[in-house]
A and B are shown apart, each in its own frame.
Chain A
C-alpha cells in the first residue's frame, strides 16, 4: 500500500536536513508500528519518497511524503496514530492512499509557494518599489554553482505584504526557483529572514 502524508515541519526540525528527515520518517513509522516496505538488495532501504527537499532552515507548512507499506488491505492509519509517534516539530496533516503505480512524487511538483518573514525592522522601507522593479525586468540572469540561468521566468508571483514577502516559484526538474536567489536580487540577506514553504503545487493529474 502506498500512502501520501501531508505534514508540517517546524520548530527545531527546521534545522534538520533532507537526508536526516528520511531517517526521522523511518523511525516515526516504526514507532507507529506500521509495516514499512523495504527495497530489495544487499542494503534494504525503507521505501520513503519525500516530494521535494526543503532547504536547511526553511519551515514547511504543507510538505508531502509517500511511503510504502507491506500490507494492502487494511485502511490507512488515522493521522492521530502517526502524530503520537512523531517527534516535536513534525505535524501530520493528512494521510491518504494513492495508486501504487502513480508517478514518483518528485516528478509531480510544478511549483512551490513561500512566505518570507523579514526579521529586521526597517529593512523593507522601499521594498515595494524594489519588488515592482524586479517584476518589471524581462530577464534576471544569475549564476548558481557555475551554471547561468534566468531567474525571472521561474518567478510566478511575488508580492510584498508588510514585513513579509509572498512568492510562488516554479519547481520543475532542472529549473527550480529558489527564494534565497530572489531575496538576493532584492538585496535582502537570507540570514535576516525566516523562510516558510507554505505549499507544494502538484502538476494536474493526467488520467
Chain B
C-alpha cells in the first residue's frame, strides 16, 4: 500500500481536475488527527456515499467523538469518491484513504461502515474494492482490517452478510467500546510497532497471535454483535427459510439490539466542513424512539423505547455547539417532535436564549395541529421556507390501516392557519401502496390536495403554493406490515398516473419516487443471504450510487437477479404466511414478532392503536429491557415503570 506521503503527492496532481476537490482533503475544524505510530488501535469510519452527504451523519459524529475520546484509539473518516474522482484514483493507483492522516484503508485495524439505508450496499463493495481489499469476508485474512457495519439497515443484515465480518445491531454508543477493546487484541499482533507504548501493550506483545477468526468469535460474544459466518441458513423448497442456526457455541441464537438506557450527552464539537454540504447544520437529538406506532414505520419500531433528553441538557448542548462551531443553523431532531414532553418549554427556551444571534432553528416532524404553528412561530422571526406536514394517507380507511389517524378537518384547519399566518408554501407528504389500498384511496390524496390548496387561495390568493411529495410504501422488516405484499410496478404506475392527471395546477408541485428506486430498496430491505450474490453481480454490472435516482441502473439489477437465478418478486410481491421465518428473525428489536402480527391483524380490521405513552400495549420492549427500565425510573423513559424484582432476561421472540 502507498504511504500517506505518496497518497498526498498523487492527490495533488489530480485534485484540480475534479469537481469540488474540497471533498477529498479533510482539514476541517474539529477533525481529530492523532499520532498514528503511538496509538494502539486504529479505526476508520466510512459513510458509503459522497462527503457532501456523509459529513452530517449524526450517528457517525457520535461514534467518531467516542472513539477519539479513548487515549488508546484513533478514529478517522472516509467517504466514497464521486465518479470523476473514482476514475482518477483508479487511473493513478490511489487507494481509498482516510481524510485525517491520508492512510490507505487497508492500514487500519478496523473499518466501520455506516448503513442507515439499503441503497448504499453497492457503494460498500466499491469502497472495499477501492481500498484494495477482498470483497468477501471469507477471503480476507489476518493481514486485512476487520470490517463491521451498523445503522438502521443492519436490522436485516443478511443481504450484506457475505461482505461484512460483523454487524452491530442497534445503538452504538456503548458497544463501540467493547468492540474497540476486542479489536485492540486483534491489532496486538503488530505490537512490535508500538515499542515504547504504555505497559499494558506489552502483555499483548507476548500473547500468541490473535487470529482473525478468534477476533470474530470474541466479537460474536458481545451482546448486539452479529457475526454472520457463525450461522447456517437452510431453506424449504419454496425458497423460504427453514432455520437459521448458530454453528459455534459462542454465537447466540438471537441477537438482541443494543439500547442505551440513558442517552449520553449529545456531541457538540461538530465537524465544520470547509465546503458546502447537504445539511450544513448542527443537529441535536432531543428524543430517541417514537410512541405513535405507525405501522409502516421502520424507525418507529426499531428505536423503542422512547427516551427524552432534558430541556436543560439540550439548551446547554446547543450553546456549546454554537460556540464551538459558529454554525448558523440548528436542527432539533427526533422522530416526532410534537411528542417531546416539554416541547413548548424547549422551544421557548431556545428562542429566548438565541434571539438576535442570527441562528436558524428547524424542528422537523411536527404533528398536524395548530400547536405546531405556535412552535414554528416562536422559532422563526420570518416565514422562511415552507411548512411540512406528513398525513401519509388521505382516506379515513387508509389512516386506520396505517395507524396514523388524522381527520381531514384537522388537516384543513391546520393548513388554513398555516397559510393565514403567512407561510406561502405548504408541503404535504403522502405514501401510496399501503396494504389493501385502492384507487379510491389514491383519489382521496388528490382531493385532499385540491382542498388544501383552495384554503391557501382563500388566504393568500395566487401566492399560495402546495408541494405534494408522494413516496411508495415498502413493507419493511420488523414492522407490523412485514407480512404484506407490496405493489407491483404496474400498480404503482397506475396510482402515480392518477395523481399526475388529477394534480395539474400551476401552484401545485407533485413529486414522486420512481418505481425502480422503490423496488430496489424493497428487494434490498427484505432480502436473504442469497441476495449477496445479486448485489455483487449488480456492482460488477456497474451499479453504484443507487440512492441517487439519476445514477440508478435498473438493468444492472434485473440482469443480476437473472444471472443468480432469483426472482425479485419472491422478495416483495408475495404475501407471507403468518408462520414464515423471515431472514431477519434472528435479529431482535425487542418488539415481539407476535405483537407485530397481532398489530397487522388489527390493521386489516381497521383498528387503530393510540399513542403508547397513554397506554402500554405490551410490544415487548419493557420485558426485554426491564432491568434497564428499573435502573432508570421516572419520566425520562416513556414506558411504564417496572417495580418487580430483577429476574433473568425473558425470551425476546
Beta-carbon contact of A11 and B27 below 8 Å: yes
Beta-carbon contact of B27 and A88 below 8 Å: yes
Beta-carbon contact of A191 and B29 below 8 Å: no
Beta-carbon contact of B274 and A20 below 8 Å: yes
Taking a contact as CB atoms closer than 8 A, the residue among B12, B16, B274 that contacts A87 in the complex is B274
Stretch at the interface among A26-34, A151-159, A198-206: A26-34
Beta-carbon contact of A56 and B16 below 8 Å: yes
Residues of chain A lying within 8 A (CB to CB) of residue B382: 42
Q: Does A172 contact B (CB under 8 A)?
A: no
Residues of chain A lying within 8 A (CB to CB) of residue B364: none
Q: Does B358 contact A (CB under 8 A)?
A: yes
Beta-carbon contact of A57 and B15 below 8 Å: yes
Beta-carbon contact of B326 and A12 below 8 Å: no
Residues of chain B lying within 8 A (CB to CB) of residue A46: 358
Residues of chain B lying within 8 A (CB to CB) of residue A56: 16, 21
Beta-carbon contact of A16 and B358 below 8 Å: no
Q: Does B272 contact A (CB under 8 A)?
A: yes
Q: How large is the interface on B (under 10, 10 to 19, 20 to 34, 35 or more residues)?
A: 20 to 34
The answer for the CA separation of A26 and B280 in the assembled complex, in Å, is: 14
Beta-carbon contact of B276 and A20 below 8 Å: yes
Q: Does B506 contact A (CB under 8 A)?
A: no
Beta-carbon contact of B358 and A44 below 8 Å: yes
Digit string of A183-207 for contact with B (CB within 8 Å is 1, else 0)?
0000000111010000000000000
Taking a contact as CB atoms closer than 8 A, the residue among A23, A31, A33 that contacts B276 in the complex is A23
The answer for the CA separation of A15 and B29 in the assembled complex, in Å, is: 15
User: Which residue of the partner chain A has the closest CB to B31?
Assistant: A88
**B326 to nearest A CB, angstroms?**
3
Beta-carbon contact of A30 and B12 below 8 Å: no
**A63 to nearest B CB, angstroms?**
15
The answer for the CA separation of A2 and B295 in the assembled complex, in Å, is: 58
**A190 to nearest B CB, angstroms?**
7
Given contacts A12-B274, A23-B276, A30-B326, contact A119 B13 (CB under 8 A): yes
Q: Does B201 contact A (CB under 8 A)?
A: no
Beta-carbon contact of A20 and B12 below 8 Å: no
User: Which residue of the partner chain A has the closest CB to B21?
Assistant: A15
Residues of chain B lying within 8 A (CB to CB) of residue A89: 27, 274
Digit string of B1-40 for contact with A (CB within 8 Å is 1, else 0)?
0000000000011111100011011111100000000000
Beta-carbon contact of A20 and B272 below 8 Å: no
**A70 to nearest B CB, angstroms?**
10
Q: Does A1 contact B (CB under 8 A)?
A: no
User: Which residue of the partner chain A has the closest CB to B24?
Assistant: A15
The answer for the CA separation of A138 and B210 in the assembled complex, in Å, is: 73
Beta-carbon contact of B21 and A24 below 8 Å: no
Digit string of A134-173 for contact with B (CB within 8 Å is 1, else 0)?
0000000000000000000000000000000000000000
**A16 to nearest B CB, angstroms?**
4
User: Which residue of the partner chain A has the closest CB to B15?
Assistant: A15
Residues of chain A lying within 8 A (CB to CB) of residue B322: 30
Q: Which residues of B from 323 to 356 have beta carbons under 8 Å from A?
A: 323-328
Beta-carbon contact of B275 and A85 below 8 Å: no
The answer for the CA separation of A23 and B326 in the assembled complex, in Å, is: 10
The answer for the CA separation of A26 and B29 in the assembled complex, in Å, is: 14
Residues of chain B lying within 8 A (CB to CB) of residue A77: none
Residues of chain B lying within 8 A (CB to CB) of residue A190: 16
Taking a contact as CB atoms closer than 8 A, the residue among A19, A29, A119, A194 that contacts B326 in the complex is A29
Beta-carbon contact of A26 and B326 below 8 Å: yes
Beta-carbon contact of A17 and B22 below 8 Å: yes
**B32 to nearest A CB, angstroms?**
12
The answer for the CA separation of A67 and B262 in the assembled complex, in Å, is: 44
Beta-carbon contact of B13 and A191 below 8 Å: yes
Q: Does A116 contact B (CB under 8 A)?
A: no
Q: Does A13 contact B (CB under 8 A)?
A: yes
Residues of chain B lying within 8 A (CB to CB) of residue A23: 276
User: Which residue of the partner chain B has the closest CB to A86?
Assistant: B29
Beta-carbon contact of B21 and A87 below 8 Å: no
Residues of chain B lying within 8 A (CB to CB) of residue A33: 323
Digit string of B388-414 for contact with A (CB within 8 Å is 1, else 0)?
000000000000000000000000000
The answer for the CA separation of A29 and B274 in the assembled complex, in Å, is: 15
Residues of chain A lying within 8 A (CB to CB) of residue B275: 15-17, 20
User: Which residue of the partner chain A has the closest CB to B382?
Assistant: A42
**B396 to nearest A CB, angstroms?**
41
Q: List 29 A-B contacts (CB under 8 A).
A: A12-B26, A15-B24, A15-B274, A16-B275, A19-B276, A20-B274, A20-B276, A23-B276, A24-B274, A26-B326, A27-B326, A28-B326, A30-B328, A31-B324, A31-B325, A31-B326, A38-B358, A42-B382, A46-B358, A56-B21, A57-B15, A57-B21, A85-B326, A87-B274, A88-B28, A89-B274, A119-B13, A191-B14, A192-B13
- Return the 3 tightest CB-CB contacts between A and B, nearest first: A12-B27, A27-B326, A30-B326
* Additional pairs, 6, CB under 8 Å, beyond known A44-B358, A191-B17: A12-B26, A14-B25, A19-B276, A46-B358, A57-B21, A87-B274
